[in-house]
Amino acid sequence: MTIIQSPSSNYSLSSSSNPSPIGFNPCTNINVSLFSPKKSCPTKLSVQSNTSYKNAVFMQDGAVVTRGNASENEARLKLKNELLSVKPPQEQKDGASFGFENYKSTVSITVVGASGDLAKKKIFPALFALYYEGWLPEHFTVVGYARSKMTDTELRTMVYKTLTCRVDQRENCAEKIDKFLERCFYHSGQYDSLENFAELDKNLKKHEAGRVSNRLFYLSIPPNIFINAVKCASLSASAANGWTRVIVEKPFGRDSESSGALTKALKQYLDEDQIFRIDHYLGKELVENLSVLRFSNLVFEPLWSRQYIRNVQFIFSEDFGTEGRGGYFDHYGIMRNIMQNHLLQIMALFAMETPVSLDAEDIRNEKVKVLRSMRPLVFDDVVIGQYKGDSRGGVSYPGYTDDKTVPKDSLTPTFAAASFFIDNSRWDGVPFLMKAGKALHTRRAEIRVQFKHVPGNIYNRDIGTDFDLTTNELVIRVQPDEGIYLKINNKVPGLGMRLDRGHLNLLYSARYSHEIPDAYERLLLDAIEGERRLFIRSDELDAAWSLFTPVLRELEEKKIKPEYYLYGSRGPKGAHDLASRFYVQWGDLREED
């Protein structure tokens, strides 16, 4: 039995399914019911389905209101979406009939900056994947908004070119694409025009057709126009009788001051709980799994402290440069682009205490505590690098400053390594190392946990002299080839006694047949459902900037020259020197690791 409490009303949604406590069991009947504490409201809405889900029955107070095909997940979702937005009769505009139709709500998703790179690359494909898999509410509309002139048909053609059926071997992809595109519309307007947003409002109302309207605005535009767009969306196009939420893309400023100013400006027009600051790394499957791994496995949680862990590493590398985005990148650099947000967020999740519950506020409270317990970075904790051109095997690779949008004398780091300490009782003295770089030898993102050596190890003489080789290491590979593996020492089979290092390996592609959803799918769905757990709260953001701002300022004021490294290499030597100060080796040094 699960109970979902509606954040916006006094309703709770309970669902039960027998006898499958975990996961989806296709051979069960399900009951999903809504209980309202207010007497004037219907007391029970439910769906019952037979084993094939062919003829699910949706009921209100025991009377059948509709029938239809439904899988268990779809039925749950449908009821959840439908019922959580129910308003008691006195709050309904017409105040009269209270049939099932009146509870129906709709979600309008406006992609602001629809003509841009992120919208095409990530947002439209993610929305389609959600639609394809049945996660979007029954009534939804997607509206692209930008200055470019486009018709609905032109938008659809543009979106169509970005869509693929993410889920392998699934049927009806073309049909689903057509159906999805029928829900997509375009509205041209300026980002700072209240009038243009008022026209958008009219357009949205047309599609919402009198239903309870919920509106999500995805700001996929350059940061200098965020505030204008938020102002116009909020003043001219907020939902009249449902929720209004805004997803804001990074960068959230470039230091404590600018971030604080952005937050202040956003809060002139929105409440904090309407702002969804996206960090797409929090939507990645393996990052989502971090808490599950730790808090639901007895074998890990007791080891998660200074007592057993020697150091923790957060590693991000890309095997391509800034190609095409150099202009944007040069203003921010790798520390703002990857470390201050993606890696730091993962680190906070990794190191937090057990939250009181899985509620967004409980989790974010714990993350803030970690961030506030960390020592701000100082100059000596940081190594910076910049890639230069190389040619190998007849191919030439451009240097960072060869990018036409980058100033020739740019000192912007494309690589950085840094060491952190969390001054609390759990982590006192444990180095947390981060490195992030572009144009390196490989593309990967991972968390590496290196454990302490076994004290008085009776097998020492069978191990050899390189004790680092015997370190137990837990690797959480966020991408690519998602997986979790633990390096252990093992006896080489045979009559002698020789140890080597083996991997206990949970490779996702071998274990799970489902394709892993893109991070944007999870985050968009969460925003639609009002789930804030994976979005950044303003105090988290402040704490994150406090850690980085002093050192970023010092690097820039002193015009510190980055250490150069070749395109496609493993990055500057300084990163190794930084780690060795703590008697640590980066775990990704060896190819087979």
Residues carrying an active site annotation: 342
Identity of the residue, 173 or 516, whose beta carbon is nearer to ligand LXAUTJHC in the bound complex: 516
Report H helices in 310-359: 326-330, 333-334, 344-351
Choose from ligand NDP, ligand LXAUTJHC, none: what does 115 bind? Cβ within 5-8 Å by kind. Answer: ligand NDP
* Count of residues of this chain found to bind ligand NDP when the rule CB under 6 A is applied: 19
Choose from ligand LXAUTJHC, ligand NDP, none: what does 337 bind? Cβ within 5-8 Å by kind. Answer: ligand LXAUTJHC
Query: Could you tell me the strand order of the sheet in which 45-48 lies?
Result: 2-5, 12-17, 30-35, 45-48, 56-60, 63-68
Please report how close the Cβ of residue 143 comes to ligand NDP at its closest, in angstroms.
Answer: 14
Identity of the residue, 116 or 530, whose beta carbon is nearer to ligand NDP in the bound complex: 116
In this structure, what token pair is assigned to residue 10?
């006094």
Helical (H) or strand (E) element with 565:
strand 563-566
Q: Using CB under 6 A, which residues numbered 280 to 309 contact ligand LXAUTJHC? A: 280
Please report how close the Cβ of residue 218 comes to ligand NDP at its closest, in angstroms.
Answer: 9
Please report how close the Cβ of residue 184 comes to ligand LXAUTJHC at its closest, in angstroms.
Answer: 24
- Of these, 110, 196, 220, 341, which contacts ligand NDP (CB under 6 A)? 220
Closest CA to 113 of 104, 122, 105: 122
Cα angle at 71 between 70 and 76, to 5 degrees? Answer: 85
Identity of the residue, 318 or 521, whose beta carbon is nearer to ligand LXAUTJHC in the bound complex: 318
Q: Using CB under 6 A, which residues numbered 313 to 332 contact ligand LXAUTJHC? A: 318
The 10 Å Cβ neighbour count of residue 357 is 9
Please report how close the Cβ of residue 115 comes to ligand NDP at its closest, in angstroms.
Answer: 4
Q: Maximum distance among all alpha carbons in the chain? A: 85
Choose from ligand NDP, ligand LXAUTJHC, none: what does 430 bind? Cβ within 5-8 Å by kind. Answer: none
Integer Cα distance of 5 and 344 in angstroms = 31
The 10 Å Cβ neighbour count of residue 125 is 19
When asked if residue 401 is in the footprint of ligand LXAUTJHC (CB under 6 A), the reply is no
Bridging pattern class, strands 432-437 and 444-451: unpaired
CA dihedral 566→568→573→577, nearest 10 degrees, is 160
Peptide bond into 480 cis (omega under 30): yes
Please report how close the Cβ of residue 122 comes to ligand NDP at its closest, in angstroms.
Answer: 7
* Amino acid making up residue 410: S
- Of these, 42, 113, 431, 483, which contacts ligand NDP (CB under 6 A)? 113
Closest chain position to ligand LXAUTJHC (CB): 337
Exposed, middle or buried by CB within 10 Å (0-12, 13-18, 19+), for 289? middle
Is-contact 111 119, C-beta < 8 A? yes
Q: Using CB under 6 A, which residues numbered 135 to 174 contact ligand NDP? A: 146-148
Please tell me whether residue 484 adopts helix, strand or coil conformation: strand
Identity of the residue, 147 or 426, whose beta carbon is nearer to ligand NDP in the bound complex: 147
Please report how close the Cβ of residue 481 comes to ligand LXAUTJHC at its closest, in angstroms.
Answer: 13
Q: DSSP character for 456?
A: T
- Of these, 116, 134, 260, 502, which contacts ligand NDP (CB under 6 A)? 116
Contacts of 286 (CB under 8 A, 6+ apart): 476, 477, 478, 479, 482, 484
Identity of the residue, 285 or 554, whose beta carbon is nearer to ligand LXAUTJHC in the bound complex: 285
Please report how close the Cβ of residue 121 comes to ligand NDP at its closest, in angstroms.
Answer: 6
Identity of the residue, 249 or 381, whose beta carbon is nearer to ligand NDP in the bound complex: 249
DSSP 131-174: HHTT-S-SSEEEEEEESS---HHHHHHHHHHH----STT-S-HH
Choose from ligand LXAUTJHC, ligand NDP, none: what does 146 bind? Cβ within 5-8 Å by kind. Answer: ligand NDP
- Of these, 196, 337, 419, 538, which contacts ligand LXAUTJHC (CB under 6 A)? 337
Please report how close the Cβ of residue 27 comes to ligand NDP at its closest, in angstroms.
Answer: 43
Strands (E) in 361-512, as ranges, are 382-388, 390-392, 395-397, 415-420, 432-437, 444-451, 473-479, 483-491, 499-507
- From residue 186 to residue 215, the character string flagging contacts with ligand NDP as x (rule: CB under 6 A) and all else as - is -----x------------------------
Identity of the residue, 247 or 584, whose beta carbon is nearer to ligand NDP in the bound complex: 247
Taking CB under 6 A as the binding criterion, the range among 179-187, 247-255, 478-486, 533-541 that sits at the site for ligand NDP is 247-255
Q: Give the 3-state DSSP-derived string for 12-62, with helices as H, strands as E and coil as C.
A: EEEEEECCCCCCCCCCCCEEEEEECCCCCCCCCEEEECCCCCCCEEEEECC
Q: DSSP character for 392?
A: E
Task: Point out which residues bind ligand LXAUTJHC (CB under 6 A).
Answer: 280, 318, 337, 445
Task: Point out which residues bind ligand NDP (CB under 6 A).
Answer: 113, 115-119, 121, 146-148, 191, 220-223, 225, 249-251
